[in-house]
Amino acid sequence: MRTGDDVMAAVVGALFPVRCAGCGRPGGPVCAGCAAGLRPPPALAIPAELDGWVAAFAYEGVARELVARVKYRNERGALPWLADAMARALPSHPGPEAVVTWAPASSDRRRRSGFDHGELLARAVARRLRLRSARLLVRDAGPPQTGLGRAARGPGPRLRPAGAGARGATVVLVDDVVTTGATIGAAARALRHGGAVRVVAVTAAATPPRPR
């Protein structure tokens, strides 16, 4: 389904050709050769708060660059591509009544970048699944998770339900990269407090475990 955002991405793409995140060749966010080199995510340890979690890719190389384009530079060409891959990563459709949401960025981060990449990804994934997307979580002030070491991330961001939208719902939680699972775990806890009956996460990438 093409929507206003997708059409805008196409117009911007025609004016400023999108280049491959791997080799720089013009024509799209990832060329066929670089796409073939994308690696599947590592085996995921699913946080207890979640009923399931899938990721499209291992967070390395081209996948890392694609996420950076969406997260830091708001290059819209990468967004539809990643959203397609994320929707395809789900083993089955979560059901026609499911709601897609995201863990909101900190207000600092949002102010700096002018957009919330998690929201953009969630809305794009929802369109591909033909599901509703809704802001089901509120983030209270606290340190941003990006840039903190693994230990300092602790229990994750301070999230709470936004209204009653999660009550009785199956929720598809969208995020860009998962490292420790602290953010998606905190988000799933808050969604359950809000009454969600089932929470599955879909992320663009997952960080491979570090060698010891």
> What are the residues binding Zn ion (CB under 5 A)?
20, 22-23, 31, 34
Q: Is 12 helix (H, G, I), strand (E, B) or coil?
A: helix
Please state the closest distance from residue 16 (CB atom) to Zn ion, in A: 17
Please state the closest distance from residue 73 (CB atom) to Zn ion, in A: 18
Please state the closest distance from residue 38 (CB atom) to Zn ion, in A: 11
Which residue, 31 or 85, is less far from Zn ion as judged by CB? 31
- Other beta carbons within 10 angstroms of residue 142's beta carbon come to 13
Which residue, 28 or 185, is less far from Zn ion as judged by CB? 28
Query: Residue 96: is it exposed, middle or buried by C-beta count within 10 angstroms (0-12/13-18/19+)?
Result: exposed
Query: Tokens 């936004």 appear where?
Result: 162
Joined tokens for residue 207: 């960080």
CB 137 within 8 A of CB 101: yes
Joined tokens for residue 60: 């390395």
Which residue, 22 or 104, is less far from Zn ion as judged by CB? 22
Please state the closest distance from residue 74 (CB atom) to Zn ion, in A: 21
Which residue, 34 or 105, is less far from Zn ion as judged by CB? 34
